[in-house]
Amino acid sequence: MKVFTLILFTLFSLGFTSTSNSVPNTNSKPSHAEWNTLLGKYVDQKGNVNYKGFKKNAFALSTYLDSLAKNAPTDQWSKDEKLAYYINLYNAATVKLILDNYPVKSIKDIKSPWDQEWVKIGNKTYSLGTIEHKILRKMNEPRIHFAINCASYSCPKLENTAYLPATMEAQLQKATFSFINDTTRNTISENELQLSNIFKWYKSDFTTKVSLQEYIKPYSKIAISTDAKVKYLDYNWSLNEIK
């Protein structure tokens, strides 16, 4: 009888262990490898997107977004891990929004593109606007404005590699330098800065400790005066599509 009881206990223990190991880990940190592959395949060096081709692989994008939804950041994650998660999530969700409404000439042709609550993080749903304004901007990293993309030509370009925690600082520096010195988005001279409206809309993020001119100065290839005049350029909301 004792032997029979021992056998039952052993079988029960093995079965319990097997069941426990089959439960997916919902707190792991995503590698972003899937997103990196998709970006490399459908986004060019200028940040323009082959939406027609991307749409044929929409399932892979949905799979990546599902993996992010099931692995929401926790308090134990580092700031760079959270930045990578939310920047990649924002950009991937923006691409999905375009694909779901494609063909479209502009993201602004979609009804309330930044207010729709459909992006899943854990058991909650968020809008793109909430991810940007209530999460990313609250992280006190103004360079996120040069990393997230709004699917438009005047937006900072969509990089064709994913943002990663290990390279976050270098990637943010590169994105900021690239955007500020991009003459299709900003026109800079010593005494006048004709800037993207991004610097107008989010001026408070850039000027917590310095003036706007002082913020831009270290990144600019052109020497600028600290009292240079600032003007803002028209924003091109046309879809950032490869022609």
d(CA 212, CA 53): 39
pLDDT classification of 42: cutoffs 50, 70, 90? very high
pLDDT for the residue 1: 41
d(CA 156, CA 77): 27
pLDDT tens digits along 116-135:
999 999 999 999 999 999 99
Residue-number span of the structural domain to which 39 is assigned? 29-232
d(CA 92, CA 100): 12
Q: What percent of the chain has pLDDT over 70?
A: 89
Is 207 within the bounds of a domain? Answer: yes
Q: State the average pLDDT over residues 52-69.
A: 98
Structure tokens at 224: 């600028």
Is 186 within the bounds of a domain? Answer: yes
Is 19 within the bounds of a domain? Answer: no
User: How many alpha carbons fall within 13 Å on the CB side of residue 188?
Assistant: 22
pLDDT classification of 34: cutoffs 50, 70, 90? very high
d(CA 156, CA 219): 15
pLDDT for the residue 28: 84
pLDDT classification of 27: cutoffs 50, 70, 90? low
Query: What is the total count of domains within the chain?
Result: 1
Is 100 within the bounds of a domain? Answer: yes
pLDDT for the residue 143: 99
Is 41 within the bounds of a domain? Answer: yes
pLDDT classification of 209: cutoffs 50, 70, 90? very high
pLDDT classification of 5: cutoffs 50, 70, 90? very low
Is 204 within the bounds of a domain? Answer: yes
pLDDT above 50 for 242: yes
Q: Alpha-carbon torsion 150, 153, 154, 159, what sign?
A: positive
pLDDT classification of 26: cutoffs 50, 70, 90? low
Is 18 within the bounds of a domain? Answer: no
pLDDT tens digits along 130-185:
999 999 999 999 999 999 999 999 999 999 999 999 999 999 999 999 999 999 99
Average pLDDT value for the chain? 91
Is 23 within the bounds of a domain? Answer: no
